[in-house]
Structure 1
Amino acid sequence: MKIASLRDKGGGKLSLLDLVKEAGIIGAGGAGFPTHVKLAAKAEYILLNGAECEPLLRVDQQLMALYPDEIIKGFEAAGRLVGAEKALIGIKGKHKEVVSILKERIGALQLSDFVEVRELQDAYPAGDEQVLVYELTGRVVPEGGIPIHVGCVVINSETALNICHASLKRAVTEKYITIAGDIPKRLTVKVPVGTPMIEVLKLSGIENFADYAVIDGGPMMGPVMRSMEAYVTKKTKGLVILKKQHPLIKRKTTSLEQAKRVNKSCEQCRMCTDLCPRYLLGHNLQPHKMMRVTNYGLQEAEDQTMVYLCSQCNLCELFSCPIGLFPKSNHQYLKQKLIEKNIRYTPVPTSFEPRKNREFRLVPSKRLIAKLGLYHLDKPAPMTDITLEPEVVYIAKSQHVGAPAISVVSVGDHVNAGQLIGKIPENSLGAAIHASISGTVVETENAYIAIRRDQ
Structure 2
Amino acid sequence: MRVNLIEQVNNAGVIGAGGAGFPTHVKLSATAEFILLNGAECEPLLRVDQQLMEIYPDEIILGFQSAGKAVGAKKAYLCIKEKHGKVISILRERIEALNASPFVEVTPLPDVYPAGDEQILVYTVTGRSVPEAGIPLNVGCVVINSETALNIFNASKGLPVTEKFITVAGDIPNRVTVKVPVGTPIMDVLKQSGLDSFDDYAVIDGGPMMGPVMTDLSGHVGKKHKGFVILKKDHSLIRKKTTTIEQARHINISACAQCRMCTDLCPRYLIGHNVEPHKSMRIQNYGLNDVEGKSHAQLCCMCNLCELFSCPAGLHPKLANDALRRDLAEQNIRYQASGNEPAARQNREYRQVPSKRLTARLGLSTYDKAAPLQEVVCAPEAVCIPIDSHVGAPAIPTVSVGDHVQAGQCIGVAAEGKLGAPVHSSIAGTVIGIENNHIAIRRG
In structure 2, how many angstroms separate the alpha carbons of the residues matched to 1:63 and 1:350? Answer: 37
Q: Which amino acid aligns with 2:154?
A: H
- On the 8 A contact 2:165/2:177 being kept in 1, the answer is yes
In structure 1, how many angstroms separate the alpha carbons of the residues matched to 2:105 and 2:397? Answer: 41
Residue 139 of structure 2: which of 150, 153, 160 is its match? 150
Match of 1:6 in 2: none
User: In structure 2, the residue corresponding to 1:98 is in which secondary structure?
Assistant: helix
How far does the alpha carbon of each residue in 1:394-421 deviate from its partner, in whole angstroms, 9 at most, with x for none?
A: 0011001000010000000000000000
In structure 2, how many angstroms separate the alpha carbons of the residues matched to 1:294 and 1:59? Answer: 38
Residue 324 of structure 1: which of 314, 318, 336 is its match? 314
Q: Which amino acid aligns with 1:163?
A: I
Match of 2:373 in 1: 383
How far does the alpha carbon of each residue in 1:76-104 deviate from its partner, in whole angstroms, 9 at most, with x for none?
A: 00000000000001110000000000000
Residue 165 of structure 2: which of 169, 172, 176 is its match? 176
Matched, 1:366 2:346: no
Identity of aligned pairs, percent? 64
How much has 1:294 moved relative to structure 2? Answer: 1.1
- On the 8 A contact 2:279/2:293 being kept in 1, the answer is no
How far does the alpha carbon of each residue in 1:276-313 deviate from its partner, in whole angstroms, 9 at most, with x for none?
A: 00000011101001111111121138521111100000
Q: Which amino acid aligns with 2:110?
A: Q
Residue 266 of structure 1: which of 256, 272, 276 is its match? 256
Q: Which amino acid aligns with 1:118?
A: T
Q: Which amino acid aligns with 1:286?
A: E
Matched, 1:166 2:155: yes
Which range moves more in the overlay, 321-330 or 292-301?
A: 292-301
In structure 2, how many angstroms separate the alpha carbons of the residues matched to 1:446 and 1:297? Answer: 39
In structure 2, how many angstroms separate the alpha carbons of the residues matched to 1:122 and 1:181? Answer: 20
- On the 8 A contact 1:64/1:98 being kept in 2, the answer is yes
Q: Which amino acid aligns with 1:352?
A: P
- On the 8 A contact 1:133/1:139 being kept in 2, the answer is yes
TM-score, normalised with respect to structure 2: 0.98
Residue 31 of structure 1: which of 20, 23, 41 is its match? 20
How much has 1:351 moved relative to structure 2? Answer: 2.4
- On the 8 A contact 1:181/1:240 being kept in 2, the answer is yes
Q: Which amino acid aligns with 1:412?
A: G
- On the 8 A contact 1:293/1:302 being kept in 2, the answer is no
Residue 124 of structure 2: which of 135, 143, 147 is its match? 135
How far does the alpha carbon of each residue in 1:144-176 deviate from its partner, in whole angstroms, 9 at most, with x for none?
A: 000000000000100000000000000000000
In structure 2, how many angstroms separate the alpha carbons of the residues matched to 1:439 and 1:349? Answer: 50
How far does the alpha carbon of each residue in 1:35-70 deviate from its partner, in whole angstroms, 9 at most, with x for none?
A: 001110000000000000000000000000000000
Match of 1:88 in 2: 77
In structure 1, how many angstroms separate the alpha carbons of the residues matched to 2:234 and 2:285? Answer: 29
In structure 1, how many angstroms separate the alpha carbons of the residues matched to 2:191 and 2:339? Answer: 50
TM-score, normalised with respect to structure 1: 0.96
In structure 2, how many angstroms separate the alpha carbons of the residues matched to 1:342 and 1:52? Answer: 34
In structure 1, how many angstroms separate the alpha carbons of the residues matched to 2:341 and 2:411? Answer: 45
User: In structure 1, the residue corresponding to 2:164 is in which secondary structure?
Assistant: strand
Residue 20 of structure 1: which of 9, 33, 46 is its match? 9
Matched, 1:347 2:334: no
Unaligned runs of 5+ in 1: 1-12
Match of 1:433 in 2: 423
Residue 417 of structure 1: which of 392, 407, 420 is its match? 407
**What does 1:22-421 correspond to in 2, within 5 Å?**
22-264=11-253, 265-300=255-290, 303-421=293-411
In structure 2, how many angstroms separate the alpha carbons of the residues matched to 1:301 and 1:34? Answer: 33
- On the 8 A contact 1:275/1:361 being kept in 2, the answer is yes
How much has 1:324 moved relative to structure 2? Answer: 0.8
In structure 1, how many angstroms separate the alpha carbons of the residues matched to 2:230 and 2:206? Answer: 10
How much has 1:340 moved relative to structure 2? Answer: 1.0
In structure 2, how many angstroms separate the alpha carbons of the residues matched to 1:351 and 1:423? Answer: 38
Task: Give the aligned length.
Answer: 442
In structure 2, how many angstroms separate the alpha carbons of the residues matched to 1:23 and 1:218? Answer: 27
How much has 1:446 moved relative to structure 2? Answer: 2.4
- On the 8 A contact 1:244/1:250 being kept in 2, the answer is yes
When the two chains are superposed, the root-mean-square deviation of aligned CA atoms in Å is: 1.0
Q: Which amino acid aligns with 1:319?
A: F
User: In structure 2, the residue corresponding to 1:184 is in which secondary structure?
Assistant: coil
Match of 1:4 in 2: none
How much has 1:252 moved relative to structure 2? Answer: 0.7
